[in-house]
Structure 1
Amino acid sequence: MAERDWAAAENAALEGLGAWPADGPGGVVLGIENGSVRLVAAAGHAGVGGAPLGTDSVFRWASVTKHVFAACLVESGVLPLDMTLGEALLELAAAPASVTVAQALAMQGGLPDPRESLTLLGFGSLTRTEAAPLHHWMAGFDWLNARPGHEVAYSNGGYRLLETALARRGFVFSDMVADHAQRLGIGMRASEYWTDPVPGLVPGHEPASPGWSEGFQGMHLSAAGSLSGSARDLAVWLSDLMARDVFAQIARPLPLGSGEATGYGLGIALTQIGAERVPGHGGAQAGYRAGFLCAPEEGIALVALSNRDDGDATGLAARVWARLRGVPQAQMPKPAGDWAPPGLYVAEEGGLWAEVKKNAIVVRDAEEALFAGDDGQFVSAAPHARMRLAYTDGALSGDLFHQPVRLLPVRVCDEEPELDGRWMSDGAIVTIRGRTLHWGAGPLQTEATLKPLGNGRWLFNAMGRRICLQRLAPDRFILSLARARGVEYCRL
């Protein structure tokens, strides 16, 4: 039986939560073993003038939802894991139709993420979108971020598509969640929209100047992140799930098509903590952070929930787990530090770019922490964003998402876009004059400056993101972010 020290774990939880000011939003950490509560730590409040947070405070679970959906799908038995999405949803375009159910759940489908695709059409995160039009729009995407089974790269697209496929066969996710909640006597529930009433929900907080603002998402929620509940609710659900056969099925990492091992299963990731690979998952939504880790053979579940946007729930859970297991500090990952010269890097061709930062790297505008690895390499801890890189011979080399890469520093250049005119993608219009890009209309118009990356690529800032523009031909270019890499614009 593996070592466990609940007193040490509780001290670690209190230390982590204590780093946040007591008069602001905070978080909750809860640990259970074989159904008995062994650790409780809480700090902060539900909102200005609100009640202190506790184990029954209700949070949004964000992407922690994914493993719940995967378990429901597998237990329904109506969508075999080797079925293609084209068989499940006949209206899909050819590219997504080739992806299997397992690949969609295991982040191997290369499916475009709908939220980032909306961003590339100029729609901000506050814009409301409805379920049926979203599905119709996504079904027409005839492109993928990568070949199915070729890399592990995060996207919510597969979960949204499979929720629709499951519902058409009579299995509505929100109803399945409600049935489990009633069976277990917990408050776990699925919402369709951010504005749906959720009893006891604490507001999520995003940093603002001054103070905080309340988080909001306009896009219709899906099985990628629609659940809410308390820390106690999540712990009870996990305790029950670990005793069912389906847990082993969804926690088993899916190999790539080449047979290469990965650390990501069906809504469950395996995180290396000391000598142990621990099943769990994290989640992030506007103003909320969530994470859990568990040991099914021992009936242990550790839950961390926060109502502040900077609340690193997954990192906190990992530190508490390490203390629970008595992992020496020397065995914990060491931050990468100044691991490479800071600045922008880019592949010789295509839309892959990165920015080196202290202890981290930003890839296509998605940031990941890096840690010192073996043989002078620097690695990520996230199974869904595997990175192993080193700075040698003036370049970053290694692999990203299981694929070999070589990135060169961006050189100062005077390359002009030569893209003057008006451009359209799916009704969205941008106008370019020299190195200035105009997006939107009226008071919502955005003006951005195109920064050259070389070889027909430029970066620009819009809606709080850095977007890459890659010229394909005199009359075509594509825009890309980490989870949506192929929104194409054509000259009008």
Structure 2
Amino acid sequence: MSRRDWPAAEAAAHEKLKSWTGNGPGGVVLGMERGVPRLIAAAGRCGAGLGPLGPDSVFRWASVTKHVFATCLLESEAFGLDMPLGEALCELAAAPAAVTVGQALAMQGGLPDPRECLTLLGFGAHERTEADALYPWMASFDWLNAAPGAEVAYSNGGYRLLEMAMARRGFVFSEMVAAHAKRLGTGMRASEHWTDPVPGLVPGHVPEADGWSEGFQGMHLSAAGSLSGSAMDLACWLADLMPRAIFDRIARPLPLGSGEATGYGLGISLTRIGNMAVPGHGGAQAGYRAGFLCDPDQGISLVVLTNRDDGDATGLAAHVWAALCGVPDGALLKPAQGWAPAGLFAAAEGDLWAEVRPGSIVVRDAEETLFEGEDGWFVSNAAQSRMRLRYEDGALTGELFHRPVRLLPAKDDAAMPGLDGDWTCDGAFLQIEGRTLNWGAGPRRSAATMTPLGNGRWLFTANGRRICLQRLSDERLKLSLARARGLEYRRV
């Protein structure tokens, strides 16, 4: 058994947290070994006029919820992982009905993400939606982002569908969480809406030009990200979970349909730190960031929770873990520098586009940090968005999400034939005039300039997102984001 250096980990945590001192928001780092807290570091405050953050401060866990839901699903024994979703939800359209339970949990189902579908219909992040309306709307989508088992690409859609399927079998996620919380003596809980009362919840903070605003989400919360609790609550949950056989089942990566290995299991991903592949997960919601890493063999967990939108919880956890395990700086992945010229790139056809930035790449409006890999490749360190790229012969080549890609510099189309006019989708409405796209009505009407990618594709910005518009025919357009790639508008 290798030795763990808790003093070094604590020093690393305090070093990273020192910029969060003062009256602003901050975060908590908590390390636990076999049920005993070994590291507690905190900085910042709960909110204006409120006290300092600590191990018992309550945060939203965001997507850290996913592994808890996967655990509850396996405990229920309601569904086998190979069962198609259509057997549990008979009203699903044919495309999502063929996705298996395991694929839905392991980000391999290609299921559209409901939040990003709402964005493509013009819904802002603050607009409230209800579960009873969201589910039948999602069930009617007869398209997928990708063929099931073909790629690992993040989406919350599978978790929302499976939560509904569980409830129909009598297993209500919030009730299962409450039972675990009572058994463990913790305060973790599942919420339906952002406005539901949560005892002790600290406000989430979003940076603005003149200070901070309070984060908010209008969409109904689901098992993809509905939990809240303290750092101590999460550490106690992990201490109880890790010795159980069920942890190995959720942490074991699910291979693709081709048999190719991945780094993502059932709400658990593997993070490379030195020569280790460490199980854990991260999460992000408006004003909150969360992350954890763990070593089930030694009963060690490391939890990071923040109440600030710019808090890199997963990066902080990896930094502290490296110190805990004595990983030298030379063994860590080095940030990519100058690996490709900055700018927009796109595949020869389809909706795949990317923007190269210093040290990162944005793919379909989702940004991922890149690091130096082997043999001239540049890679991501996120199992749910695997990337392996290089720049050669004027193009980005390699793999995205386990699929081969070749992206060329974006080019300007001399003309935009067949786009002018009015378009509609599911009650949403947009209008195109030359290179201007108008969306919404009345005081919500906004205009965006369309940036060409080439070959009948353009980018425009709406509700803070860069959306790809692809001309399919004289009568059809497709809008897409990273997690929702198939919403079609038709000419009025």
- Within the alignment, does 1:249 sit opposite 2:249 as a pair? yes
Q: Decide which moves more: 64-73 or 9-18.
A: 9-18
What amino acid is aligned across from residue 232 of structure 1 in structure 2? M
- After TM superposition, list the pairs within 5 Å mapping 1:77-476 onto structure 2: 77-476=77-476
Aligned-partner Cα distance in 2 for 1:359–1:268: 25
Measure the CA separation in 2 of the matches of 1:4 and 1:414.
Answer: 61
Residue of structure 2 in register with 1:23 after alignment: 23
| Separation in structure 2 between the aligned mates of residue 70 and residue 220 of structure 1, nearest angstrom | 19
Q: Does 1:488 align with 2:488?
A: yes
SS in 2 for 1:384: helix
Q: Secondary structure at the match of 1:236?
A: helix
Distance 1:417 1:383 in 2: 40
What is the letter of the counterpart of residue 213 of structure 1? S
Residue 452 of structure 1 and its aligned partner are, at CA, apart by: 1.1
CA distance in 1, matches of 2:110, 2:446: 29
Amino acid at match of 1:297: D
Q: CA deviation at 1:162?
A: 0.1
Distance 1:415 1:16 in 2: 51
How far off its partner does 1:159 sit?
0.1
For 1:320 and 1:202, the matched residues in 2 are separated by 24
CA distance in 2, matches of 1:435, 1:411: 15
Query: For this pair of structures, how many residues does the alignment match?
Result: 492
How far 1:243 sits from its partner (Å)? 1.6
The offset of 1:412, in angstroms, is 3.7
Indicate the residue corresponding to 1:34 in structure 2.
Answer: 34
Quote the offset at 1:420 in angstroms: 1.2
> How big is the shift at 1:446?
1.4
> Hey, what's the Cα distance between the residues in 1 that align with 2:176 and 2:2?
34
Report the Cα distance in structure 1 between the residues aligned to 2:331 and 2:97, rounded to whole angstroms: 44
Task: Return the letter of the residue paired with 1:183.
Answer: R
Would the aligned equivalents of 2:413 and 2:456 in 1 still touch at CA under 8 Å? no
Give CA-to-partner distance per residue, 1:369-418, whole Å, 9 cap, x none. Answer: 00000111100000000000000000000000000000001134423253
Counterpart in 2 of 1:9? 9
| TM-score, normalisation: structure 1 | 0.99
- What SS does structure 2 have at the residue aligned with 1:466? strand
Distance in 1, matches of 2:128 and 2:485, equals 23
- The percentage of aligned residue pairs carrying the same residue is 72
Distance across 1 between alignment mates of 2:36 and 2:491: 63
Matched residue type, 1:81: L
Inter-partner Cα distance in structure 2 for 1:469 and 1:21:
44
Q: How far apart in 2 are the matches of 1:409 and 1:2?
A: 48
Deviation at 1:435, TM superposition (A): 1.1
> C-alpha deviations, 1:415-449, integer Å up to 9, x for none?
32531111111111111111111111100111111
Counterpart AA for 2:68? V
The amino acid that maps onto 1:247 is: F
**Cα distance per residue 1:310-341 (max 9 Å; x no partner):** 00000000000000000000001100011100
Partner of 1:74: 74
Residue ranges of structure 2 left out of the alignment (5+ in a row): none
Does the residue aligned with 2:453 lie in a helix, a strand or coil? strand
Q: Which amino acid aligns with 2:283?
A: G
**What SS does the corresponding residue of 2:194 show, helix, strand or coil?**
coil
User: Aligned partners of 1:103, 1:22: CA distance in 2, in Å?
Assistant: 45
Deviant stretches of 4+, over 2 Å: 19-23, 411-415
Q: Greater CA deviation, 267-276 or 397-406? A: 267-276
Amino acid at match of 2:126: L
Please tell me whether the aligned partners of residues 415 and 454 of structure 1 are also in contact (alpha carbons under 8 angstroms).
no
Q: Which ranges of structure 1 fall in alignment gaps of 5 or more residues? A: none
Q: Is 1:64 aligned to 2:49, yes or no?
A: no
Instruction: Specify the code of the residue in structure 2 equivalent to 1:318.
Output: A
TM-score, L = length of structure 2: 0.99
CA distance in 2, matches of 1:388, 1:179: 42
